[in-house]
């Protein structure tokens, strides 16, 4: 029981399982069922679930248990990747049974040499570039950066600081590309309201119902449950 005036906390665990198939990185994704309607989500997400302090001896054991249950994939070596506690970060379809509790999300990275084929229902290996198409430089600079991302990003960048970030992160105006700034680029698109998940989260912050997001443009990639 939570004391009056004290916000309950639920710890959600997610797994980024990465393999290589046909010379490109793929990530293990799931399409969970809605607990009430039993409909399969139209959006893919990462394997996720709540930490059970009574049933899980450690975070990692809890992670391994529900990843195996959801995907039929047995994790090998895993490494903690991130921790987020942002309010309202989790989408309804990514519900971990928190109710009104604050969700602390802990993500783990798992690398595997082979993209195992025998997986659970609604579980697939999805190319990383379907979610981040602007990161695909295998054939040179992606045209979508200049055609679909740069124009609205420049319109948003109304201050010198914003414009400098846009130039640096998306290699505008002949700036060099830094392949290590993947997270920074997504965060900039989200801040600018260009990431598909941004519109959904703005509506939820205003107390309005928000449908699952649709990509504003194919250049902006497929939206995911919760965020990336």
pLDDT digits (tens, 9 = 90+) for 110-167: 988 888 887 888 899 999 998 899 999 999 999 999 999 999 999 999 999 999 999 9
Q: Extract the tokens encoding 93.
A: 């379809």
| pLDDT at position 28 | 94
Dihedral (CA of 62, 67, 72, 75) sign: negative
Q: Can you give the length of the chain in residues? A: 228
Question: What is the biggest distance separating any 2 CA atoms in the chain, rounded to whole angstroms?
Answer: 58
Q: Cα separation of 216 and 157, whole Å?
A: 19
With b meaning 16 or more CB within 10 Å and e meaning fewer, what string describes 111-135? ebeebeeebeeebebebbbbbbbbb
Domain 9-128: CATH superfamily, name plus number: Nucleoside Triphosphate Pyrophosphohydrolase (3.90.79.10)
Q: Is residue 4's pLDDT more than 60? A: no
Does 94 or 29 have the greater pLDDT score? 29
Top-confidence residue, 54 or 97: 54
Q: Which of 195, 200, 199 shows the shortest CA–CA distance to 183?
A: 195
Q: How many CA atoms lie within 13 A of 49 on its CB side?
A: 22
Q: Nearest to residue 106, comparing CAs of 92, 121, 116, 96?
A: 96
- To 5 degrees, how large is the angle CA 105–CA 108–CA 110? 155
In the chain, CATH 3.90.79.10 sits at: 9-128
Query: Is 6 in a helix, a strand, or coil?
Result: coil
Mean pLDDT of the chain: 81
User: pTM for the full model?
Assistant: 0.76
Q: What is the pLDDT of residues 79-111, one digit of tens each?
A: 998 887 665 544 443 444 445 567 788 899 998
Quick count: other Cβ atoms within 10 Å of Cβ 59?
A: 15
Using the predicted structure, report yes or no on whether residue 213 has a pLDDT greater than 60: no
Residue 71: name the closest of 124, 11, 14, 128 by CA.
124
Distances (CA, A) of 178 to 3, 28, 127, 167, 184: 48, 25, 21, 11, 10
């Amino acid at each position: 029981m939570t004391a009056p005036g004290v916000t309950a906390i639920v710890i959600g665990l997610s797994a980024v399982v990465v393999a290589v198939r046909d010379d490109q990185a793929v990530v293990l994704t799931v399409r969970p069922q809605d607990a009430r309607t039993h409909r399969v989500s139209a959006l893919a997400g990462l394997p996720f679930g709540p930490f059970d302090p009574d049933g899980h001896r450690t975070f990692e054991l809890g992670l391994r248990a529900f990843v195996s249950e959801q995907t039929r994939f047995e994790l090998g070596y895993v490494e903690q990747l991130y921790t987020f506690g942002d309010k309202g970060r989790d989408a309804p379809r990514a519900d971990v049974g928190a109710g009104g509790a604050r969700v602390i999300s802990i993500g783990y990275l798992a690398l595997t040499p082979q993209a195992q084929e025998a997986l659970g229902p609604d579980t697939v290996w999805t190319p990383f570039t379907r979610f981040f198409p602007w990161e695909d430089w295998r054939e040179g600079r992606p045209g979508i950066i200049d055609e679909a991302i740069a124009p609205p990003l420049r319109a948003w960048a109304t201050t010198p600081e914003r414009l400098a970030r846009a130039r640096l992160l998306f290699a505008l105006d002949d700036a060099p590309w830094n392949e290590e700034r993947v997270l920074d680029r997504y965060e900039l698109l989200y801040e600018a309201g260009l990431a598909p998940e941004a519109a959904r989260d703005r509506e939820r912050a205003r107390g309005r119902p928000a449908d699952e997001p649709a990509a504003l443009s194919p250049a902006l990639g497929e939206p995911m449950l919760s965020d990336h």
